[in-house]
Amino acid sequence: MSEPEVAEMKEAPAPQPTYAPAAMALGIMMLLWGITTMWIMSLAGLGVMAWSLWMWINDIRLDWKKENAGE
pLDDT tens digit string along 16-61? 788 999 999 999 999 999 999 999 999 999 999 999 999 999 998 9
DSSP helix, strand, coil percent of the chain (3-state; round to 5):
75, 0, 25
The verdict on residue 3 lying in a domain is: no
Between these two residues, 70 and 65, which has the higher pLDDT value?
Answer: 65
- On whether the pTM is more than 0.75, the answer is no
The verdict on residue 32 lying in a domain is: yes
| Domain encompassing residue 50 | 19-61
Do residues 29 and 41 touch, judged by C-beta distance below 8 A? no
**What pLDDT, on the 0 to 100 scale, is given for residue 12?**
67
Domain count, the chain: 1
CA atoms within 13 A on the CB side of 44: 11
**What pLDDT, on the 0 to 100 scale, is given for residue 23?**
96
